[in-house]
Structure 1
């Protein structure tokens, strides 16, 4: 749609209004990323200065975030996790188009917490990873895994989601999971790692996953910044 060139409203404000309406309508879901300056220039046949003025207006209005080297994004874009789909935490970020990465915090063999000894024996693996979206930490994942998982190469553990790692090492698929979601205060170490305020209340997702044999594959907790994350549960009417 072309601009009204002789409109007394400056062209950059017209562009800002168009983009504002599209943001409200969800046109830039799921990633929340707006077109580049060059793409907006070509769309409206205007100069880069005009485009930058429009984006500055949206920035002042708190509608967008401009990330150096990454582009322009809808402000406060939330990650959505479809909890009725069997999908690892990292995968749920990637399928939405986010620039999602993982950073190893801890990967080691430990004495199994007493509650998990019936599942893993006296020794298990501890894998802690920081989940990062567009260079911003949003969650810390802590997984207790079978002892052989402590032999993972750190580079691989930073690239592959938990379910893929388990399948590769155990040679068996994850076929089911039990999930519980709550909110609570956590130790300062965790809030510091994910950039939350020291006394912040975080979302906590607890997950137990199982191989097709029925054996427990993992017991995990994800400590999540609530302002950046949203859980979604689909439902349907039963057949009659």
Structure 2
């Protein structure tokens, strides 16, 4: 430890690094304060300053009588970039892996069929994926891909690059996307896949991606626990446009 940097700040920086790397995983419990103060060679008062800084930063939660729990850094779900979800998270320095849960042609739900301008009886490619951050389930994502774009994804490994990158390699240009984000609650099926309790508050993002000719290329629905991410957008005179709309029945 340096003489110029306060000891509590050095401890806070070390714990922040360990949380960011996944060494101290979200949901895990920190060692007792006496054990931590001994490990860092500081007084309890100094350690508590460090823990308070981490709590102020939203990285831990101190619960009297229960202990100190890691909440983990919240990631930014950016509304001002035209990138795939995995690309956005990797740009923030996160380790993202993808688990393909299902990949088949099926009839789209009514709202997707309406977006694609196709009959609900006409099957499209449906991809169900789970995004893992540092090995922990974080985002459930379902994508519907209409023809002829679906044929570009035949026999392609979908556990690595984003769909945007795969399509771009095959000459499909992504021009723009519209997106709506609303609050929701986890249902039983998705809660089990994310390892979260049923009824956990989540963000539900519906994104429609268009090609140069204005046709929908992808329709995505991502379910994101509110404890994992926060929504961010950069506002400028000619930048992202945000609209707040009333949800019927709310």
Could you tell me how far apart the structure 2 residues matched to 1:216 and 1:55 are? 59
1:61-81: CA deviations, max 9, x gaps? 48478xxxxxxxx85201112
Q: CA deviation at 1:33?
A: 4.2
Corresponding position of 1:92: 88
| 1:53 lines up with 2:35 in the alignment | no
Residue 19 (structure 1) aligns with: 11
- When normalised by structure 1's length, the TM-score is 0.70
Counterpart in 1 of 2:109?
113
TM-score relative to the length of structure 2: 0.68
**Superposed CA offset, 1:20-75 (max 9, x none):** 2x489xx96xx93499xxxxxxxxxxxxxx999129968x948478xxxxxxxx85
1:1-240 equivalences under 5 Å are: 2-3=2-3, 15-20=7-12, 22=13, 32-33=20-21, 53-54=39-40, 61=51, 63=54, 75-117=71-113, 119=116, 121=118, 122-147=122-147, 149=150, 152-153=154-155, 156-169=157-170, 171-237=171-237
Structure 2 Cα separation of the partners of residues 149 and 33 of structure 1: 36
1:210 CA displacement: 0.3
3-state SS of paired residue (2:126): strand
Distance 1:168 1:2, change over 3 A: closer
The answer (yes or no) to whether the contact 2:22–2:134 under 8 Å persists in 1 is no
Q: CA RMSD in A?
A: 3.6
User: Which structure dedicates a bigger proportion of its chain to helix?
Assistant: 1
The count of corresponding residues between Structure 1 and Structure 2 is 200
Could you tell me how far apart the structure 2 residues matched to 1:224 and 1:190 are?
10
* Distance in 2 (alpha carbons) for counterparts of 1:96 and 1:161: 15
Distance 2:41 2:198 in 1: 33
User: What SS does structure 2 have at the residue aligned with 1:108?
Assistant: strand
> Measured at CA, do residues 227 and 117 of structure 1 come closer, stay the same or move farther in structure 2, by a change above 3 Å?
closer
**4+ residue segments displaced more than 6 Å:** none
Contact 2:127 2:142 (8 Å CA) reproduced: yes
Distance in 1 (CA, whole Å) between partners of 2:158 and 2:37 is 41
- Structure 2 alignment gaps of length 5 or more: 24-35, 61-69, 239-250
